[in-house]
Structure 1
Amino acid sequence: MKKIPCLYAIVRFAPFVETEEFANVGIILLAPTEQYFDFRLLDRRYARVTRFFAEMKPEIFNTSMRNLRDELQRVAVLLRERDRDQVLNLDTDFGRSLFAEIIRPRETIIKFSEPKPALATDPKAQLKALYDFYVERNFATQEYQEALMVKGLRGWLVEARLADRFHSERLGDKTYGATFPFVESGLSHPLKAIKPLYLGQDDPTRIIDHGGQWALRVARLRKRQRLPQELLFAVKGPEEEGSSRSEAYEEAVEELRQANAAVLPFADKDRILYFAASS
């Protein structure tokens, strides 16, 4: 299958020159030989950006992205018109020059990465894949997030000199069980268990399903009398408030509590360690 050479750049939002911090907010992509130019910009779930730059008014982000979108749309129209008039033909220099002009360093809060090459069978699909990776961070799956949470909690336990009390263990019987990364064992039965749980998925349905899956596991294990009396879920949910995702998060948390499990925000380090240390 034919591979099409592409150039892409990551769009970065950097409102504070002093710190040089930035957030990835989009991708622009050019396939010079195909006269293809397109872009994808963050237009939803931008609370993580505005919260990261908490000192900045959200209107600044919204206005900057709107102006950038207008500019990139003008570029796309210009390239299409030249292609339609057959002025561009297969001369790729114009497209490359225009791309270079777009990403040229300027004293603005919108920055671009250095141009990066890519080979793609479908430039449109490549643009989506790059956006999903750099902006949506699709590599940060549910499993990845929970692995990071487990690692973080293990570090807290080491700092508090509690790590030796906990180990990973499958709780259950020969027909049904679930693995908890932090279990404190007693002489004849487990004393307590802690499970970091990620409930910040993009789809509200997935949030409810994941929480409900663990609530069901808890109910089944309690029925088999295979759970310690003290069980804690340390949960991480969506960043934004008042959204369908946050409503789904609250529903999932309530279902876990109805299963007689304690639930604390993963950010509440002190209370999680208090639970771990209590006798």
Structure 2
Amino acid sequence: MMNIPCLYAIVRFCPFLETEEFANAGIIMIAPEHGFFAYKLITRRHARVTNFFEQLDGAVFKTAMQNLKEEFERAGAMLRQHGIDRKYQLSDTEFAKSVFAEIVRPREAVIKFSKIRGVLADDPAAKLEDLYGYYVERDFVTKEYREAVLERTMRRWIFDAGMANKFGRIEIGNEEYHATFPFVEQNGTELVQVVKPLNLAQDQPSKILDHGGQWLFRIQTLQRKRLLPTRVLFAVEGPDGQGPRQQAYADIVGNLRDSGATVHSYSEKEQIMRFVQDRGTVGSS
């Protein structure tokens, strides 16, 4: 093991200085004694970030990332001139550390950085990928964790609409079969409507089909046993881009709608809240 000492910082997108909320958007790393300087920024799936800041124009994030990339490229060129890549005999590790510290210094801007952190790595490039996966892609997040986040956000929407006392987490069914929904409205003992945030953004088509199919089975079984109200809404978060994952997502959404459930993208907050507040309209979209 080489145990190369590396310094890194997390790139944070913070568009609203008043609230100090941020989303991790990249990693920048340097190993000056090893001649390594690199970074990785979000270049796709940026909807996850822009959807978090609902009032923000998505172009702001794209522009900020492009400007940051150019800044990093200029810093990399400067470091190479001073021998960071060991092509010259002028390598100055202290200079490299000072440049890195200047890049990630605290600033009043939409881009901020975490404190500089240290880590030992056999392969700095591989470690950069690992850190990006953990802090930006959130590899540790399970579908259950993500759905808990979606539920918390939706609970805030319902609270802000003055309807918090109308919905509860309830187990629907009987001794033979039952399932728990996070948002259930009742009128006495009668079920009025159920709402379920659903994460279908898994990294493999089979996982999307498995998780979506599980909920499809649940509602079909409850419907068959006449245990479910007619008003059922799934607020679904899906994958970005095209390809097999998108096809798997489309299949599940189509099957849910065929079952009689209403399905909206989780990003469609207005449509979701309109469904929740308007009990007179039943159907799918």
State whether TM-score is above 0.5: yes
Q: Distance in 2 between matches of 1:214 and 1:206?
A: 13
Say whether residues 1:83 and 2:86 are aligned partners: yes
Residue 83 of structure 1 aligns to which amino acid in structure 2? R
| 2:70 aligned residue (55, 67, 73) | 67
TM-score (norm 2): 0.68
Say whether residues 1:96 and 2:97 are aligned partners: yes
Q: Distance in 1 between matches of 2:105 and 2:202?
A: 35
TM-score (norm 1): 0.69
Q: Distance in 1 between matches of 2:49 and 2:155?
A: 28
1:199–1:211 contact (8 Å) kept in structure 2: yes
- How many Å apart are 1:238 and its aligned residue? 4.4
Q: 1:30 to 1:79 in 2, by over 3 A?
A: farther
1:189–1:228 contact (8 Å) kept in structure 2: no
Q: Distance in 1 between matches of 2:120 and 2:171?
A: 45
Residue 103 of structure 1 aligns to which amino acid in structure 2? V
Residue 236 of structure 2 aligns to which amino acid in structure 1? K
- 1:261 maps to 261
1:11–1:110 contact (8 Å) kept in structure 2: no
- How many Å apart are 1:134 and its aligned residue? 3.5
Q: 1:110 to 1:221 in 2, by over 3 A?
A: closer
Q: 1:45 to 1:193 in 2, by over 3 A?
A: closer
Q: 1:261 to 1:132 in 2, by over 3 A?
A: same
2:235–2:263 contact (8 Å) kept in structure 1: yes
- 2:25 maps to 25
- 2:40 maps to 40
Q: Distance in 2 between matches of 1:63 and 1:220?
A: 49
- Other structure's SS at 2:150 match: helix
- Other structure's SS at 1:37 match: strand
1:11–1:27 contact (8 Å) kept in structure 2: yes
- How many Å apart are 1:168 and its aligned residue? 2.3
- Other structure's SS at 1:178 match: strand
Q: 1:205 to 1:75 in 2, by over 3 A?
A: farther
- How many Å apart are 1:29 and its aligned residue? 1.0
Q: Distance in 2 between matches of 1:33 and 1:16?
A: 37
Q: 1:2 to 1:277 in 2, by over 3 A?
A: farther
| 2:278 aligned residue (259, 268, 274) | 274
2:198–2:235 contact (8 Å) kept in structure 1: yes
Q: 1:104 to 1:203 in 2, by over 3 A?
A: same
